[in-house]
Structure 1
Amino acid sequence: MRRRPGPSAGPEPEDGLLPKAGAGETWRYALRLLRPRWYLAVLTVLALAVGAAVQLVTPRALGWVIDAAIEGDRGAIVWPVQVLVLVAVATGVFQVLTRTLIAFVAEPVLATLREEVVERALHLPSGAVERSGAGDLVARISGDVEVVTTAIRNIVPTLAMSVFLVWMTAVGLAVIDWRFAAVALLAVPTDLYALRWYLRRSGPVFAAQRVAEGARAQQLLDSVGGADTVRAFRLGPDHLRLMAGRSEEAMDCSFRAMRFRTRFWGRMHLSEAIGVAAVLVAGFYLVRDGSVTVGAATAAAFYFSRLFEPVNMVLMMIDMVQEAGAALSRLVGVAGVPLPEQREETVLTEPSIDLRDVRFAYGAGHEVLHGVDLAVPAGERLAVVGASGAGKTTLAKLVAGLHPPASGELRLGGQPVDRFGPDELRRSVGLITQEVHVFAGPLIEDLRLARPEATEADLEGALERAGALEWVTALPSGIRTVVGKGGHRLTPTQAQELALARILLVDAPIVILDEATAEAGSAGARRLELAAQRALSGRTVLLVAHRLTQAAAADRVVVLDRGRVVESGSHDALVTAGGHYARMWSAWSSNGDPTKGPASSAPSSASA
């Protein structure tokens, strides 16, 4: 069995969230990305070092100018000024060079990171995303990627240059007179205390801030994405309270980080005051004793000022680096999820479905399916009905391979479902849900996502069987009309017909319709039902019925109640039996014409 390259050890999941990598795992992942470009990384470090050394000439040249001015030698001022001009030019050249080299190193690394995160995200188990909420994943792919990108493009080069300037400036200070370097050390204890105090407390704050922002994004998605449901059940005040709570939590984390920064910088300003005072006093006594010139003392003061500037820069960026580190660990947590194993794929020989004592739970102690036994022979059209929360959609997701059973056995064509690789499962089982996504772009490209090599005649044939060719032909540019966001807006019925055409292009022998007509009106739903009956004739169909007219037209009906199969049989037989299904059908029929769908006053208990 071969695995795709990735971190050697998988990251650990956080409670209720997607996994987050540890520090060691994050470092190993970053080094793996840098390894193919190690020579450029070394060249970048050398360019940063030389650029920092060039900048150190400026304070000493200013000291020479001061000494020449004091001595009254105007001719001696010319060459230090020329040096300053050359230093300015060289500094600009090295800044451009280092920025270019950093781009050559960083941009491919960022591109690889984004690609691997998105690739792993697309292969994450549906259950894992549902438990954490889509907001956590969105916050990582958008917010965390942005934080890491900003750090690599801006913070890392500035930080590296600052580190070089610190130790090179310290050397330059000692070259003038070792006593300047000695008194400058008086600022070190305060620096170390401030740094130690800050690092011990700020890391968890930034990690908590990223988590809080993910929770806020999830709540926003829940409230805005489910706006229709929120309005229908008058849940607006509840969602506003939840959103306010998430926002307040994120805001508290931001304030906590801000308070840390404020206290940290108070300690750093104290350190700077101590160092400046020490260097000035030392310069006064050394000049008075004739140990150094006024120009040299001035250069030492400039050196200390330049020393403290990069020190401040390093310390100022520590919180940014920590924030970027927290974001990177969350990204590596997703990128480190192993891809499905590459193996010999089982080929579906017969489109049958067989569930034996299948159980499933979304969380410990919350079992949704309880020992489901169900056999669907090849070519049968099976309708699954039941009250809301009965487990219908969960059953559909298990058969589609989106969730693995917690226990029991699920077979497709007599073979365990876990023997099917993702590609073969995609070719074997098609799924249409009530929420159909229309990708932005030409409609022809949207269809070719299902079968890239399909000809235009193939696409038109699939559209005709799905009942969509007439309205597609009537579009402004026909099949090449831009649809989706920013393009022609499709109705819910048209979007479902487009999804049905995709399924036909894949030519999956098993098709699952999970309340696929729920978003359409009564007329649109009936049109979709008829189109699906024609298009899917001869295939094995598992239909989660939203309208009982769909169940009435099926070969067999299964009734789920609280995760258990309580009835199974034909529509006529179940109506005659007078059980669960008969009561549902009676309520459905008495509140509307069963051939047209329910009336608006149909009670919720009659819902399938």
Structure 2
Amino acid sequence: MIGVAPPAYDPAAPTTADTLPVGSAATVRAYVAELLRRHRGAFLLLVTVNAVAVLASLAGPWLLGGLVERVSHGARELHLPLTVGLFALALLVQAVFVREVRLRGAMLGERMLADLREDFLVRSVRLPPGVLERAGTGDLLSRITTDIDRLANAMREAVPQLTVGVVWTALLLGGLVLTAPPLAAAVLVALPLLLAGCRWYFRRAPSAYRSEAAGYAAVAAALTETVDAGRTVEAHRLGERRIALSELRIKQWTAWERYTLWLRSVLFPVVNITHVTVLAAVLLIGGVFVLRGWLGIGQLTTGALIAQMLVDPVGLILRWYDELQVAQVSLARLVGVREIEPDAGDASLSPAGRDMHADRVHFGYREGVDVLREVSLKVAPGTRLALVGPSGAGKSTLGRLLAGIYAPRKGRVALGGAELSRMPAERVRAHVALVNQEHHVFVGSLRDNLLLARADADDAELWAALGAVDADGWARALENGLDTEVGSGGFALTPAQAQQIALARLVLADPHTLVLDEATSLLDPRAARHLERSLARVLDGRTVVAIAHRLHTAHDADVIAVVENGRISELGPHDDLVAADGTYAALWRSWHG
């Protein structure tokens, strides 16, 4: 079949994400099979009630065929009251079990959707920290929101309805074989046409729907970015360029929309022709058989009615299978996290001390491009180390390696002799914590937000943690104290208060080593100074690695490491480095004007 060609590939158009992986066909099939095994009881019940409903629907053609047969033979006793009574009973049974089919199908779909959400969340929180750090929260959130929304209809409707359609078709064909065996072969006349049309369509549809979804995502991204950066766009007079980009993305998306619409416009007429062909073949072949005496007129009537009834289940299968082509893209994105090995680590590995050592570390975000090269560093327990250097030198990357977020490509980062990358993530977090500018307050009570750090903490310990960061004053002034609802829709916290909650969690978790990535840089100066005083009490007695974007942080450190071009170029106390008149001294002079 020849028709509209798919839109030409444009290298400017995004096609695949390079963050979290998208599941392969094998992974998707394995997960679907696992879901069906979990819910096999509900699945078998759905099949059973559907079978009863279909069998009840076959009573009508069978009764009518028998009535026609008796009339054709000139029978005087037609048993109309009995026939009508049985027909009414069959309709009643069919109505009751069709209701059960819908109910059981909806329940099965909702349970499977709930399992899908839960499986994705459980698997996501078990991912290695470095994977999520590189991927960012945007990709993860889009999967649990947008992709789940796209899948909701498919899980609630498509899977149950496909099951219904398959069982319905199989039983109707079985009924046709039992009541009019010669006519069963007539149905096969249209099968090659249906298979050819479906094969043509389904070879093109999956990739087309994936491109359509990617095109829509590109449109949304372009528009959202333009709106969010509206002032920047206006200041730099980028309006025309952003409009041109949006129009290009819309053009690419609508081209794929037209292509998928064209695919459906070819498939549906083929399906309709198939239905007509089946009925025509049954009537023509059956008519010849009746004339030759090989088939009764009643059997022909029953067979023709059953053949006509095949229209609905076949249409149901094709409709929802088509829907699943769209949903399969989102399902592949959701189960893609199953292809990432969880960070199990060596459970027997535990630090024998608190000293930290990086030995000839190499690390890069892309293959063949190292951000850090030959970095070696020793941090004694209780030391305050500051990492300084120009933007892009690798300070934050080194900090995340020391926090166990990333694993080095080459070399090792060890805590107390135990390699961080080989330890379970939970054990690493018990010893080392990363504190950065990002802080989150979860929707719930203040108590629940604090218990995230240590679930067994009592109220006295919670108040002590708040007091340690100077947060107990405003917290005690809350109407319901620790039971006050905070977060979205609750008590509105200032950025400084939200950061204090994050620091109180840190006090409760009580790690002996902290990696600080300018935890106060996003606050106004007055709030930052107040929080730094609170932070100083939290840091007392702990090993601290501070990524210093502002040099007054470095001034108070015991040791300063200057990171340049992915290497440590200078190492020593503040006064020694200033006296050496090297890179640090130049940074210090430029900082103080």
TM-score normalised by L of structure 2: 0.86
Matched with 2:52 is 50
Deviation at 1:134, TM superposition (A): 4.1
Q: Which amino acid aligns with 2:507?
A: L
**C-alpha contact 1:139 1:213 (8 A) present in aligned 2:** no
User: Distance in 2 between the 1:456 and 1:286 partners?
Assistant: 87
Mapping for residues 198-277 of structure 1, pairs under 5 Å: 198-210=201-213, 249-277=252-280
User: Distance in 2 between the 1:226 and 1:404 partners?
Assistant: 34
| Cα-to-partner distance string for 1:139-186 (whole Å, 9 max, x where unaligned) | 433343344443333122222222233233234345554454444433
Matched with 1:454 is 457
- 1:221 to 1:92, Cα distance in 2 relative to 1, 3 A: same
**C-alpha contact 2:113 2:156 (8 A) present in aligned 1:** no
Deviation at 1:383, TM superposition (A): 1.6
User: Distance in 2 between the 1:232 and 1:420 partners?
Assistant: 49
Matched with 2:341 is 338
Matched with 2:20 is 18
**C-alpha contact 2:28 2:332 (8 A) present in aligned 1:** yes
| Cα-to-partner distance string for 1:204-242 (whole Å, 9 max, x where unaligned) | 223444555666677788778888988998878777766
User: Distance in 2 between the 1:542 and 1:237 partners?
Assistant: 46
**C-alpha contact 1:139 1:214 (8 A) present in aligned 2:** no
Matched with 1:170 is 173
Q: Which moved more, 1:479-488 or 1:43-52?
A: 43-52
Deviation at 1:364, TM superposition (A): 1.9
Matched with 1:392 is 395
| Cα-to-partner distance string for 1:9-65 (whole Å, 9 max, x where unaligned) | xxxxx8724334433343333333443554554444333323222222223334556
**C-alpha contact 2:345 2:423 (8 A) present in aligned 1:** no
**C-alpha contact 1:346 1:424 (8 A) present in aligned 2:** no
Q: Which moved more, 1:392-401 or 1:293-302?
A: 293-302
User: Distance in 2 between the 1:124 and 1:221 partners?
Assistant: 28
Equivalent residue of 1:454, what SS? Answer: coil
Matched with 2:11 is none
Matched with 1:492 is 495
Matched with 2:13 is none
Deviation at 1:102, TM superposition (A): 4.6
- 1:182 to 1:408, Cα distance in 2 relative to 1, 3 A: closer
- 1:76 to 1:291, Cα distance in 2 relative to 1, 3 A: farther
Deviation at 1:535, TM superposition (A): 2.0
Matched with 1:472 is 475
Q: Which moved more, 1:248-257 or 1:504-513?
A: 248-257
Mapping for residues 398-413 of structure 1, pairs under 5 Å: 398-413=401-416
Deviation at 1:463, TM superposition (A): 1.2
Is the counterpart of residue 142 in structure 1 residue 145 in structure 2? yes
Deviation at 1:552, TM superposition (A): 1.7
User: Distance in 1 between the 2:293 and 2:216 partners?
Assistant: 61
Q: Which amino acid aligns with 1:368?
A: V
| Cα-to-partner distance string for 1:383-410 (whole Å, 9 max, x where unaligned) | 2122221111111111111110111121
Equivalent residue of 2:592, what SS? Answer: helix
Matched with 2:551 is 548
- 1:428 to 1:524, Cα distance in 2 relative to 1, 3 A: same
**C-alpha contact 1:18 1:334 (8 A) present in aligned 2:** yes
Deviation at 1:454, TM superposition (A): 1.0
Q: Which amino acid aligns with 1:341?
A: A
Q: Which moved more, 1:524-533 or 1:267-276?
A: 267-276
Equivalent residue of 1:538, what SS? Answer: coil
Is the counterpart of residue 195 in structure 1 residue 198 in structure 2? yes
Matched with 2:313 is 310
Q: Which moved more, 1:34-43 or 1:559-568?
A: 34-43
Matched with 1:520 is 523
Matched with 2:126 is 123
TM-score normalised by L of structure 1: 0.84
Which of the numbers 421, 444, 468 marks the counterpart of 1:441?
444
**C-alpha contact 1:136 1:214 (8 A) present in aligned 2:** no
Deviation at 1:289, TM superposition (A): 7.5
Matched with 1:596 is none
Q: Which moved more, 1:123-132 or 1:569-578?
A: 123-132
Q: Which amino acid aligns with 1:141?
A: I
Q: Which moved more, 1:243-252 or 1:574-583?
A: 243-252
Q: Which moved more, 1:105-114 or 1:364-373?
A: 105-114
Matched with 2:29 is 27
**C-alpha contact 2:106 2:157 (8 A) present in aligned 1:** no
Q: Which moved more, 1:76-85 or 1:123-132?
A: 123-132
Q: Which moved more, 1:423-432 or 1:126-135?
A: 126-135
Q: Which amino acid aligns with 1:163?
A: V
Equivalent residue of 1:59, what SS? Answer: helix
Is the counterpart of residue 322 in structure 1 residue 328 in structure 2? no
User: Distance in 2 between the 1:353 and 1:226 partners?
Assistant: 42
Which of the numbers 534, 538, 541 marks the counterpart of 2:541?
538
Matched with 2:304 is 301
User: Distance in 2 between the 1:374 and 1:186 partners?
Assistant: 77
Deviation at 1:585, TM superposition (A): 2.4
Tell me how large the CA RMSD over aligned residues is: 3.4
Number of corresponding residues:
577
Equivalent residue of 2:522, what SS? Answer: coil
**C-alpha contact 1:440 1:483 (8 A) present in aligned 2:** yes
Deviation at 1:375, TM superposition (A): 1.7
**C-alpha contact 1:53 1:168 (8 A) present in aligned 2:** yes
Deviation at 1:258, TM superposition (A): 2.4
Matched with 1:568 is 571
User: Distance in 2 between the 1:80 and 1:356 partners?
Assistant: 89
Q: Which amino acid aligns with 1:47?
A: V
Is the counterpart of residue 369 in structure 1 residue 368 in structure 2? no
Q: Provide structure 1 residue ranges, at least 5 long, that are not aligned to the other structure.
A: 1-13, 591-608
**C-alpha contact 1:515 1:546 (8 A) present in aligned 2:** yes
Deviation at 1:502, TM superposition (A): 0.8
Deviation at 1:340, TM superposition (A): 2.8
Is the counterpart of residue 417 in structure 1 residue 437 in structure 2? no
- 1:500 to 1:134, Cα distance in 2 relative to 1, 3 A: closer
Q: Which amino acid aligns with 2:571?
A: S
- 1:62 to 1:152, Cα distance in 2 relative to 1, 3 A: farther
Deviation at 1:191, TM superposition (A): 0.9
- 1:251 to 1:476, Cα distance in 2 relative to 1, 3 A: farther
Equivalent residue of 1:364, what SS? Answer: coil
- 1:75 to 1:271, Cα distance in 2 relative to 1, 3 A: closer
| Identical amino acids, percent of aligned pairs | 35
Equivalent residue of 1:383, what SS? Answer: strand
Matched with 1:77 is 80
Q: Which amino acid aligns with 2:191?
A: V
Deviation at 1:589, TM superposition (A): 2.1
